[in-house]
Each structure stands twice: as C-alpha cells, then as structure tokens.
Chains A and B, each alone.
Chain A
Amino acid sequence: QVQLMQSGAELREPGASVRVSCKASGYTFTTYYIHWVRQAPGQGIEWMGWIDPNSGGTYSAQKFQGRVTMSRDTSISTAYMELSRLTSDDAAVYYCARVHRNYGDFGFDPWGQGTRVTVSS
C-alpha cells in the first residue's frame, strides 16, 4: 500500500538546523508532489511548501523562504525537509504528505506519521 515513513524525533538547540526525511513506498515516487506541513503543540496545521520529486523543483511559503530547503533522492524514493536557524517557535510535529492525485488539487493523502522536533538548549 502507499506509505510515507518519516525519520525519528529530533532534539536541537536554538540556532541549529534539522533535517527530516520522508521515505515513500507503494507507488512511483517521481509522479506525485510531496508537501510539508507542521503542527505546533496544541495548534493547527501550517503549510510549509512542496517538492516535485521528478524535477526537484520546490516552492515554500513566504514565512519559511530562506530558512527551509526541500530536496529528494529519487534512488531511494525519499524526500527531505531541512529547516535552519531554529527557534523555540519551530518546535512542532513535522509531516510530509503526498498529493492525493498527480494532477490538480485533490488534497493530501497519505500523510507520514510525523516527526517531532524539539528545540531546547
């Protein structure tokens, strides 16, 4: 079945960077965009950006531009999201999510299980 498996929880100090991985299985990795979102404790969902696994093209929300890097390794069907210059406001669960259809806007399905990032000195 279609699955996204994310890397484990991370603890970082303020000012550091974190990289989260998202391994896809059960489908052709290069044919569906991957989006990244995050959810701070007890808060709603915030969209961060997307990557086209075929071309490597990316787009990020203005809030994260200059601080987020999305990449992929097609040989292992894995997408990555790196966030730099972390502050306490970046403490959240980070999710990758595949688009439901490989054309148009049909929502996100499935989602990875989430990666908890803690920022603390």
Chain B
Amino acid sequence: QSVLTQPPSVSGAPGQTVTISCTGTSSNIGAGFDVHWYQQLPGTAPKLLIYVNTNRPSGVPDRFSGSKSGTSASLAITGLQAEDEADYYCQSHDSSLSGSLFGGGTKLTVL
C-alpha cells in the first residue's frame, strides 16, 4: 500500500520546538526516494518548505529543518511562532505508483 503516514495534529507553545514525522514504506522513502515538505496556510496553496530531505528554498527561515532516516522523515520547527500555524505535508516518489505521493497532512496549532 502506498501511504505516507503523518500525525493528524501537533501543537506547541510559542518559542517551543515541534517535530512532525512522515513514515513511509519500502516503495517510497525506504527505497531511497527523497522527501519534500510543504506548508499550507489556511485558504492558500501549499508552499515548498524543505526539498530533498534537508534543503530550504530561499526565503524559508532556518527555524525549519528536515531529516530523513530509513523509511521515515521528519520536519522540525524551532522557536515556534503564531504564523507557523498551518497544515504541513510530506511528499515522496513512490515506485508502486510510478508517481508522487503525499502524506495525509499534519495540522500545527500554536497554543
């Protein structure tokens, strides 16, 4: 089954650090395919946040970082700010689909 599993929700207080996990399988992350992360603010299109596991596009604060190990990847957000409240999605290529696969999304609430 082609699935990237994310927790439905995470929360943290301003200034804290949160981590969002993305668990895949041997046909996607475990096969060595790279992981990308997107931030979707309410009512807007997703925005590329992290590409190829660890890289930030220009303009993305270094409070956002990504990592990948085995069949999983993680997005960490340090120094949480109110403006970080959004939905976050991971993405990877899947060999069974011969295409792209997105995680179910994680809603971040800043308390």
Contacts and interface: CB of A to CB of B under 8 A. Distances in A.
A107 B89 contact: no
Interface stretch (A7-15, A45-53, A71-79, A82-90): A45-53
B34 A105 contact: yes
B89 A61 contact: no
B47 interface: yes
Interface string A92-110: 0001010010000111111
A118 to B, nearest CB: 16
Give the bracket for the number of chain B residues in contact with chain A: 20 to 34
A108 B48 contact: yes
B105 interface: yes
Contacts of B45: 95, 111-114
Nearest to B50: A107
Contacts, number: 63
Given A106-B51, A106-B52, A45 B36 contact: no
Contacts of A114: 45
Contacts of A111: 45-47
Interface of A: 35, 37, 44-47, 49-50, 59, 61-62, 95, 97, 100, 105-114
22 contacts: A44-B89, A44-B105, A45-B91, A45-B102, A47-B100, A47-B102, A61-B97, A97-B46, A100-B48, A100-B51, A100-B57, A105-B52, A106-B34, A107-B48, A107-B51, A108-B36, A108-B38, A108-B91, A109-B47, A109-B48, A109-B57, A111-B46
